[in-house]
């Protein structure tokens, strides 16, 4: 894995490209089985004090993009609560141990975002643990490919919308009751909102919903001094894909179709979340920022 120290690095060669031979996993997947391992910034992300004193709740913070956000935020000086599914306790513990060992205040809370009562208690618990709440980062999401609408069950359609859209709605609603002016919300959309794959009918639809939700909520809360933006990644090397997000033959070629000819790494998404959460981006709201390796958003 490359690190950030050389002055110039060719981004096309900075991280591995396809073909990949990582094993298939069952959802929700773990970073431990990713081959090659993903870079979440554990040894490559350096903070610059941009979130000192901030109090952040990061969903999906055990693994993938959420783990990279938690690492970056803690190294930028924020106190962080991460949340994850109970099955992901081991991945979450690694994040808490790593960042706690660096002196950061980090806690993990397990639960299912498809449950409204959990979402409300999560915001309460994060508020108590952090002594306030001024950043909400919604990274958690589920993705299960289906070749045809005939095979897409109501149960799957419902679960994908519950986890990706309802959970985000419930968390935003509860967080906004407590957030002071200057607070920031950062959601996670996807290139799938704009260029949906045939096999991701439900998932792509949730990501399009998140784009509209972000733009609408941003207008609604601008006068309160709260900003709402989203990051829209292209292919990123995480457990989401080999745990049912894509068929394994597509995981093999993951990233081949973007101009950089490789998937992004979670750590390459983190700087956008830091920027959108920080007060430096004070005039930016209602925007969707791509991190796609060269497939620009429309
Ligand atoms: P990931 O599997 O590492 O992270 C997703 C996390 O979502 C899981 O760790 C889990 O904790 C959480 N989650 C899922 N369902 C949940 C539920 N019901 N309750 C609580 N938590 C739940 O994968 P990732 O790729 O880092 O995904 C993070 C986000 O990035 C997702 O929203 C995904 O849609 C988005 N995204 C990923 C890619 C990609 O190529 N990896 C591309 C575009 C967008
Ligand atoms: Mg996970």
Q: Which residues pair with 232 in a beta bridge?
A: 290
Crossing angle for the helix pair 201-221 and 154-161, nearest 10 degrees?
30
With CA atoms as reference, report the closest residue to 190 among 199, 180, 198, 200: 200
* Domain residue limits at 170: 47-291
Please tell me the number of the ligand nearest to residue 210's CA: 1
Closest ligand to C-alpha of residue 231 is 1
> Nearest bound ligand to CA 251?
1
CA 213 to chain centre: 16
Ligand 1 binding pocket mutation candidate from 139, 192, 193 (most atoms within 8 A of CB): 139
User: In the predicted model, is pLDDT for residue 116 greater than 90?
Assistant: yes
Give the separation between CA 145 and CA 171, rounded to whole angstroms: 26
Substitution candidate for ligand 1 out of 140, 155, 190 with most atoms within 8 A of CB: 140
Nearest atom in ligand 1 to the alpha carbon of residue 91 is: 9
CATH number, domain with residue 287 = 3.40.50.720
| pLDDT tens digit sequence for 178-192 | 999 999 999 999 999
pLDDT tens digits for 11-25? Answer: 999 999 999 999 999
Instruction: Establish if 38 belongs to a structural domain.
Output: no
Q: pLDDT tens digits for 259-276?
A: 999 999 999 999 999 999
The protein residue with its alpha carbon nearest to ligand 1, atom 13, reads 140
- 158-171 tens-digit pLDDT: 999 999 999 999 99
Distance 141 CA to ligand 1 centre (A): 4
Task: Give, using CA atoms, the residue closest to atom 10 of ligand 1.
Answer: 60
Structural domain contains residue 3: no
218 close to 286: Cβ distance less than 8 angstroms: yes
Token pair, residue 220, equals 């609604």
Cα 72 to ligand 1 centroid, rounded to whole Å: 17
pLDDT category, 6, cuts 50, 70, 90? Answer: confident
pLDDT exceeds 70 at position 175: yes
pLDDT over 80 (residue 3): no
Ligand 1 neighbour 264 (Cβ under 6 A): no
Residue 39 belongs to a domain:
no
Q: Answer whether 112 contacts ligand 1 (Cβ < 6 A).
A: yes
Measured in angstroms, how far is the CA atom of residue 31 from the centroid of ligand 2? Answer: 7
pLDDT of 195 strictly over 80 = yes
Mean pLDDT of the chain: 97
**Tens of pLDDT, residues 125-137:** 999 999 999 999 9
Average pLDDT, integer, range 222-246 = 98
CA torsion sign, 52 to 58 to 63 to 64?
Answer: negative
pTM passes above 0.75: yes
Residues with catalytic function: 203
ω into 163 cis (within 30 of 0)? no
Residue 252 belongs to a domain: yes
The answer to whether residue 297 sits within a structural domain is no
Query: Ligand 1 pocket check: which of 22, 25, 41, 64 to mutate, most ligand atoms within 8 Å of Cβ?
Result: 64
Q: What is the DSSP letter of 135?
A: E
Average pLDDT on 84-97 reads 98
166 falls within a domain: yes
Selection from 207, 145, 130 nearest residue 175 by Cα: 130
Q: Please report whether residue 40 resides in a domain.
A: no
**Residue 233 beta carbon below 6 angstroms from any ligand 1 atom:** yes
Q: How many structural domains is the chain composed of? A: 1
Take residue 97 and report the two structure tokens written for it.
């141990």
Q: Is 65 in the pocket of ligand 1 (CB under 6 A)?
A: yes
Do the domain assignments include residue 154? yes
Q: How many CA atoms lie within 13 A of 9 on its CB side?
A: 11
| Residue 1, pLDDT above cutoff 80 | no
């Amino acid at each position: 894995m490359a690190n950030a120290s050389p002055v110039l690095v060719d981004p096309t060669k900075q991280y591995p490209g396809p073909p990949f031979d990582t094993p298939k996993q069952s959802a929700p997947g773990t970073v431990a089985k990713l081959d090659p391992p993903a870079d979440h910034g554990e040894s490559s992300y350096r903070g610059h004090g941009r979130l000192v004193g901030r109090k952040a709740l990061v969903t999906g913070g055990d693994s993938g993009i959420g783990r990279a956000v938690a690492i970056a935020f803690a190294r930028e000086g924020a106190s962080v609560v991460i949340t994850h599914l109970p099955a992901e306790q081991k991945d979450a513990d690694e994040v808490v141990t790593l960042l706690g060992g660096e002196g950061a205040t980090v806690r993990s809370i397990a639960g299912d975002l498809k449950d409204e009562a959990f979402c409300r208690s999560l915001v309460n618990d994060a508020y108590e643990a952090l002594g306030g709440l001024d950043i909400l980062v919604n990274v958690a999401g589920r993705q299960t490919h289906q070749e045809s609408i005939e095979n897409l069950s109501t149960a799957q359609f419902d679960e994908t919308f519950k986890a990706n859209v309802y959970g985000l709605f419930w968390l935003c609603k509860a967080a906004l009751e407590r957030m002071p002016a200057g607070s920031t919300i950062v959601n996670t959309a996807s290139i799938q909102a704009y260029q949906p794959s045939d096999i991701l009918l439900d998932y792509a639809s949730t990501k399009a919903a998140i784009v509209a939700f972000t733009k609408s909520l941003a207008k609604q809360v601008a006068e309160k001094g709260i900003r709402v933006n989203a990051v829209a990644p292209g292919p990123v090397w995480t457990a989401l894909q080999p745990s049912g997000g894509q068929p394994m033959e597509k995981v093999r070629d993951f990233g081949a179709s973007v101009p950089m000819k490789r998937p992004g790494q979670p750590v390459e998404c983190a700087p956008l979340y830091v920027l959108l959460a920080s007060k430096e981006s004070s005039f930016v709201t209602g925007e969707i920022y791509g991190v796609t390796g060269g497939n620009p958003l429309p």
